[in-house]
Amino acid sequence: MSKILVTDAIASEGIELLGSRAEVDVKRGLTPPELTETINGYDALVVRVRLK
């Protein structure tokens, strides 16, 4: 089964949909170094773009 890392807030329905097809881990608020350490072992990364 694929592994997906979600690093930003998305709707719970989106998490449920992804979870029906893959193993999903939600880890919000990671710093860049933490993300670098965490990302290994995942097949996909879900992020949101925040416009400023």
List the domain boundaries for the chain. Answer: 3-46
Could you read off the pLDDT of 15-46 as tens digits, one per residue? 999 999 999 999 998 999 999 999 999 999 99
Beta strands in the chain (DSSP E): 3-6, 23-26, 44-46
pTM score:
0.85
Q: Are 42 and 22 in contact (CB under 8 A)?
A: no
Angle of CA points 10, 37, 27, to nearest 5°:
20
CA dist 32 to 8, 29, 40, Å?
A: 13, 9, 13
Statement: residue 52 has pLDDT above 80: no
- Return the amino acid letter for 40: N
Give the pLDDT band (50/70/90) at residue 48.
confident
Q: What is the mean pLDDT of residues 1-10?
A: 94
| pLDDT of 43 | 98
